[in-house]
Structure 1
Amino acid sequence: MPLLDHLIELRRRLLWALAAFVVCFFITYHFSADIYSFLAKPLADLMEARGENRRMIFTALYEAFFTDLKVAFFAAAFISFPVVAGQIWLFVAPGLYRSEKRALLPFLCATPLLFLLGGALAYYVIFPFAWGFFLSFENPQGAGGLPIQLEARVSEYLDLVMKLIFAFGITFQLPVALSLLAKVGIVTSAGLKKYRRYAIVGMFIVAAILAPPDVITQCGLAIPLIGLYEISIIAAKLVEPKPVEV
């Protein structure tokens, strides 16, 4: 295809991806309160288990509105990702050989599944432990008779939840990234084994940067990363180019 036709095709794919995101955004904005309730459920369950009738607050007039927008944007990006990824694939695939398509398609399919797995781990495993740890610092009696209790802001809670879900989802792409690098010969399974100890240290550093400053959340991110690194070694062994025998 001439360059102009490629640009026209790119524009068409981008418009389809944008249209899918916009449609998902309006739908998710309508259900933004329900989505936020789902995200807040781990904290609500802990408070209910403690026998407390608690609330979440906002301190600026526009805060609740922009929180709903963030929720809708977050959910729309997540739901529309398969369509966006499909449009990228439809644009790139015609320029690939059949063998290249067969090689890349499994990685394209594994990406959203691993992101979903990482987000699910954060929501169902990490959040209950981390929120319980943070709530343990409450002091109903307080100093001098003044109680010390959590009054969570809706925007701050959402920012923390989104950061953790994206952190877990992105870091769970480690097997995909390393397998692709092994496929093209940039890394090898032997090299990954050799530098395992440095990789483990690096994973704890990444967890310390991405996760909140508490041991539970940081270990909850670093330990799965170590397991994913081991899986990456096996995957790299399977996909790396075999040495040519002379």
Structure 2
Amino acid sequence: MADFVDRARTAVTERAELPGMSLLEHLEELRRRIVRSILFIVGGFLVAWFFHEKIYAFMQEPITLALSRHHMPTQLVYHNPIDPFNLYLKISFMGGCILAAPFVLYQVWLFISPGLYQNEKRYVVPFMAATIGLFLAGAYFGYRWVYPGSLDFLLTFDKDFRPLIEINEYTDLFLTVILGLGITFELPILIMFLSIFGIVSPRFLWKNIRYAILIIFIIAAVITPTPDVLTMCVFALPMLSLYLISIAVSYMVHPAQRKKRAEKEAAS
């Protein structure tokens, strides 16, 4: 831990020595990026609201199919007349955030790019593509395999009961699983940034892999909708694979390795 803190302090100090904007200019730039990000999210919300019924039909499909396979009523219920309206607001907001994510991420990149070295700024395209691609891959993995499998497992215990599945509770479970996996798949992006700034190294990541495995299984236990070990492993194994990929990413973008490649190219 002390080594990690020292690396972070060194990286921050090195960036502080780079010529750049003053504190007030940084704050003004931050305000500008936040305002633009909010405008993108509002625009995404309006677009998602126009398709809110189709979005919810897409979200409801896994539970509808699972209930049909178990010969149970497929219509969900609500307790308060305002619940459907609030539900559509929620899913429209989440949909708007997802639609606006590429534009918001670009604003984040524009804010941090002045603190990067010139040769580090070329990572903007891989950053955008990998961030969006990994999130969609995690969300699809959850929607296509993990979530339907979890619902089938849970409904096997409901044979003696009549299900009254409330729309808000179902939506919260859906978002927890799908967004949780989507965000979890962003691990290589996090490692990439930490490695670019020299805060972590491939050696550090490999040396502490046993702690990473423990943390991964703890996270999997938190976001897993079922209590069985098999489903937790289904969550944990992709996360562990992503951690191993992150070590390779760290090796590629770490300053020490980039310096060695630059010296080798200069010598040749």
TM-score over 0.5 for the pair? yes
Q: Which is worse superposed, 179-188 or 73-82?
A: 179-188
Selected match of 2:104 from 74, 78, 84: 84
Distance in 2 between residues matched to 1:217 and 1:117, nearest whole Å:
18
Asked if 1:151 is matched to 2:171, the reply is no
Distance in 2 between residues matched to 1:157 and 1:89, nearest whole Å:
35
Q: 1:138–1:70: structure 2 CA closer, same or farther, 3 Å change rule?
A: same
Quote how far apart the aligned CAs of 1:104 are.
5.2
Q: Deviations 1:167-202 (Å, cap 9, x if unpaired)?
A: 111211111222322333322222322222232122
Q: Which is worse superposed, 149-158 or 171-180?
A: 171-180
Equivalences for 1:1-246 in 2 at 5 Å? 7-94=27-114, 96-103=116-123, 105-139=125-159, 142=160, 148-215=161-228, 216-240=230-254, 241-242=256-257
The code of the aligned residue for 2:253 comes to: V
The code of the aligned residue for 1:179 comes to: M
The code of the aligned residue for 1:193 comes to: W
Quote how far apart the aligned CAs of 1:79 are.
0.5
The count of aligned residue pairs is 238
Q: Is the 8 A contact 2:154 2:226 kept in 1?
A: no
User: RMSD of aligned C-alpha atoms?
Assistant: 2.4
Q: 1:132–1:186: structure 2 CA closer, same or farther, 3 Å change rule?
A: same
Q: Which is worse superposed, 28-37 or 185-194?
A: 185-194
SS of 1:64 mapped into structure 2: helix
Structure 1 unmatched ranges of 5 or more? 143-147
Quote how far apart the aligned CAs of 1:157 are.
0.6
Q: 1:25–1:126: structure 2 CA closer, same or farther, 3 Å change rule?
A: same
So what's the TM-score if we normalise by structure 1?
0.86
Q: Is the 8 A contact 2:138 2:185 kept in 1?
A: yes
Q: Is the 8 A contact 2:67 2:73 kept in 1?
A: yes
Q: Which is worse superposed, 23-32 or 148-157?
A: 23-32
The code of the aligned residue for 1:69 comes to: L
Quote how far apart the aligned CAs of 1:107 are.
2.8
So what's the TM-score if we normalise by structure 2?
0.79
Quote how far apart the aligned CAs of 1:211 are.
2.2
SS of 1:100 mapped into structure 2: helix
SS of 1:57 mapped into structure 2: coil
Give aligned-pair identity as a percent. 35
Q: Partner residue of 2:3?
A: none
The code of the aligned residue for 2:213 comes to: I
Q: 1:103–1:21: structure 2 CA closer, same or farther, 3 Å change rule?
A: closer
Q: 1:150–1:82: structure 2 CA closer, same or farther, 3 Å change rule?
A: same
Q: 1:172–1:149: structure 2 CA closer, same or farther, 3 Å change rule?
A: same
Quote how far apart the aligned CAs of 1:154 are.
0.5
Structure 2 unmatched ranges of 5 or more? 1-20, 264-268
Q: Which is worse superposed, 82-91 or 66-75?
A: 82-91
Answer 1 or 2: which has greater helix percent. 2
Quote how far apart the aligned CAs of 1:2 are.
6.4
Quote how far apart the aligned CAs of 1:119 are.
0.8
Distance in 1 between residues matched to 2:109 and 2:193, nearest whole Å:
16
